[in-house]
């Protein structure tokens, strides 16, 4: 059904004459179904005879029973339903970040927004029949206060569903301002675990996975492959350190061993030729003549800003090993190389419309906007409270190109979803992997990724 939506949306967008074609087909069917003329009846005049109006009907004959003109056909064209606007807001926060090691990691200006627009095409394909007209209004901001101002303007103009591409601090400010109002926020950027735990909010749905989910998905695959001894190399930013904590948790959960942990210190103004060398291991004791070099099977990199990680496979200066984590082999929501379950068609449509490859942030924007479309369609005429409750509930069924139905966890608002294990070119697997049991929801494999219900601290 998801693939049908994608193809049908693209067809309608590229074939505006489709409605007229439907009308012609209806006329042809009506003519074919008309009674045959007798041999002595005159041939019909060219064109279609229009049924007489109520004003022209005889006084003793009801308008609905007016006789059909000889040889003609009365055609009653279907009327389009009145369109109900469903505006969706989009708040994109742009902050200063260090320049990544490769310009290929710089996001385009429409990152995320393009994915939401692709979802709107699908929403409006169905909206032609249900009477819903979806639109997307985007606002770029540079601070949490500016984001709150944008949210207030959206709310004042009738926007109840807002996609948020922003930091955790900004998302919390937006959530606090929206408390008690008919607003539902969709987080597509912030991976902070605290947003699903002590700082969880009932008015925030998390499309993007948190760091625990990302680390768990990667760890499961590495353990299945029997790569269980890890060298962990990390940067010094708060995001890097948070990812380190997620990796250490995942190793403990699934049976891996971090044999050594090393910190990479980026020297501001340093030459690019110096970037990416693996830091040396801890020095051995004074009575040993060599530095400790433990055996490891894979290098896990924690470098969310992509400052040094992309160099790790090639400037390691040690034994060559696979590289995973935030670079190399990664856990992600989307890959341009994904081809199953309609993903090829989705990637092709996106590339044709937006002249570039679909990024994970685009996919997350797509899922957020499709969530709104699905919830509104399944609750025709319902008020905001009922639509929001449907998004939180277990009747919501999304199918965004990963082979299974997806919904949001009721205890923390996190989207249950498989995660691709992929290189920069191709997916190599999909997690959760088989064989990892969990304490609750044993029939839902997705709950082996991230925080399961019994361990959740979320109190919404």
Q: How confident is the model at residue 154 (pLDDT cuts 50, 70, 90)?
A: very high
Task: Give exposure, 319-329, as e/b (b: 16+ Cβ within 10 Å).
Answer: eebebbbbbbb
Predicted confidence band at 20 (pLDDT cuts at 50, 70, 90)? very low
Mean pLDDT of 196-219: 97
Q: What pLDDT is stored for residue 340 in this prediction?
A: 94
DSSP class per residue in 280-331: PPPPPPTT-SS------SEEEEE-TT-SSGGGTTTS--SS---EEESSSBEE
Q: What is the dihedral of CA 136, 139, 144, 150, to 10 degrees?
A: -80
Closest CA to 62 of 70, 51, 71, 72: 51
pLDDT attached to residue 33: 45
CB atoms within 10 A of CB 88: 24
This prediction has a pTM of: 0.81
pLDDT at 287: 46
pLDDT tens figures, 317-333:
667 789 999 999 999 99
pLDDT score at 440: 64
Q: In this predicted structure, what is the pLDDT of residue 22?
A: 43
328: Cβ–Cβ under 8 A, 6 or more apart, which residues?
Answer: 299, 301, 309, 312, 313, 322, 423
pLDDT tens track for 155-179: 999 999 999 999 999 999 999 999 9
Q: What is the pLDDT of residues 258-277, one digit of tens each?
A: 999 999 876 655 555 666 67
Mean residue pLDDT of the chain comes to 83
Range with lowest mean pLDDT among 23-27, 82-86, 208-212, 452-456: 23-27
CB 370 within 8 A of CB 80: no
Contacts of 125 (CB under 8 A, 6+ apart): 5, 8, 9, 12
| pLDDT above 90 coverage of the chain, percent | 63
Confidence band, pLDDT 50/70/90 cuts, at residue 445: confident
| pLDDT tens for each residue of 43-100 | 444 333 333 444 444 444 444 455 555 655 566 656 666 899 999 999 999 988 777 7
Residue of higher predicted confidence among 435 and 119? 119
257-263 and 184-187 as β-strands: parallel, antiparallel, unpaired? Answer: unpaired
Which region among 39-43, 82-86, 149-153 has the lowest average model confidence (pLDDT)? 39-43
Closest by Cα among 269, 327, 257 to 295: 257
For 73, residues 6+ apart whose C-beta sits below 8 A from its C-beta are: 27, 30, 31, 34, 48, 49
Q: Give me the DSSP letters along 165-217.
A: ES-HHHHHHHHHHHTTSS-EEEESS---GGGGTTT--TTEEE-S--HHHHHHH
pLDDT tens, 227-242? Answer: 999 999 999 999 999 9
pLDDT (0 to 100) of residue 313 = 81
pLDDT at 105: 83
């Amino acid at each position: 059904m998801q693939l049908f939506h994608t193809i049908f949306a693209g067809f309608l967008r590229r074939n505006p004459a489709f409605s007229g074609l439907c009308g012609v087909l209806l006329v042809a069917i009506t003519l074919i179904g008309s009674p045959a003329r007798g041999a002595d009846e005159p041939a019909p005049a060219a064109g279609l005879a229009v049924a007489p109006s109520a004003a022209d009907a005889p006084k003793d004959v009801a308008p609905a029973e007016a006789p059909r003109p000889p040889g003609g056909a009365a055609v009653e064209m279907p009327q389009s339903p009145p369109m109900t606007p469903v505006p969706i807001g989009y708040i994109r926060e742009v902050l200063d970040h260090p320049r990544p090691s490769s310009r290929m990691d710089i996001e385009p200006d429409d990152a995320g927004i393009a994915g939401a627009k692709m979802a709107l095409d699908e929403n409006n394909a169905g909206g032609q029949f249900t009477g819903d007209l979806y639109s997307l209004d985007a606002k770029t901001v540079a601070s949490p206060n500016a984001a709150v101002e944008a949210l207030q303007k959206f709310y004042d103009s009738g926007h109840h569903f807002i996609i948020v591409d922003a930091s955790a601090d900004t998302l919390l400010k937006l959530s606090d301002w929206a408390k008690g109002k008919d607003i539902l926020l969709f987080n597509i950027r912030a991976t902070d675990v605290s947003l699903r735990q002590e700082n969880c909010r009932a008015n925030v749905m998390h499309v993007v996975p948190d760091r625990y989910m990302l680390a768990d998905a990667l760890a499961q695959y590495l353990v299945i492959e029997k790569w269980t001894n890890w060298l962990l190399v990390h940067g010094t930013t708060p995001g890097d350190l948070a990812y380190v904590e997620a990796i250490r948790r995942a190793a403990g959960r699934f049976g891996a061993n971090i044999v050594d942990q090393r910190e990479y210190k980026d020297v501001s103004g340093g030459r690019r030729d110096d970037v990416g060398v693996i830091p040396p291991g801890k020095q051995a004791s004074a009575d040993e003549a060599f530095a400790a070099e433990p055996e490891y099977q894979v290098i896990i990199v924690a470098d969310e800003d992509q400052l040094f990680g992309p160099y790790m496979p090639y400037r390691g200066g040690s034994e060559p090993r696979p590289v995973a984590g935030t670079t190399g082999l990664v856990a992600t929501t989307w890959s341009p190389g994904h081809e199953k379950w309609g993903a090829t068609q989705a990637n092709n449509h996106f590339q044709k419309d937006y002249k570039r490859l679909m990024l994970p942030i685009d996919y997350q924007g797509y899922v957020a906007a499709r969530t709104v479309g699905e919830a509104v369609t399944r609750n025709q005429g319902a008020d905001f409270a009922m639509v929001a409750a449907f998004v939180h509930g277990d009747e919501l069924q999304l199918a965004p190109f990963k082979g299974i139905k997806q919904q949001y966890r009721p205890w923390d608002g996190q989207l249950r979803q498989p995660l691709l294990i992929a290189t920069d070119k191709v997916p190599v697997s999909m997690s959760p992997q088989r064989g990892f049991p969990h304490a609750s929801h044993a029939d839902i494999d997705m709950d082996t990724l991230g925080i399961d219900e019994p361990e959740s601290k979320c109190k919404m």
